[in-house]
Amino acid sequence: MNIYNLNVNSAYSYQPADLTGDGFVDFVDLIMDYNNNVNGIGMNTPQNPAKRPMQSR
């Protein structure tokens, strides 16, 4: 919903919803988000590295 709202309001410059990185939140970003959602594509990231226990050497 955030991408749609930013698209309607013609958001530009750096926006986390700008998936293509072209400086505008446009219809292409909305289509990309929709396709990723339908296909179950996500992002795997490590857990917060700041909370990892220190390892002794």
The three state secondary structure string of 2-55 is HHHHHHHCCCECCCCCCCCCCCECCHHHHHHHHHHHHCCCCCCCCCCHHHCCCC
pLDDT value at position 55?
63
Has this prediction a pTM greater than 0.95?
A: no
pLDDT value at position 5?
85
Q: pLDDT digits over 1-57, tens only? A: 688 888 888 888 888 888 888 888 888 988 998 998 899 887 777 777 666 666 665
Q: What is the C-alpha to C-alpha distance for residues 4 and 51, in angstroms, rounded to an integer?
A: 34
| CA distances from residue 44 to 8, 10, 39, 41, 47 in whole angstroms, order as listed | 30, 30, 15, 10, 9
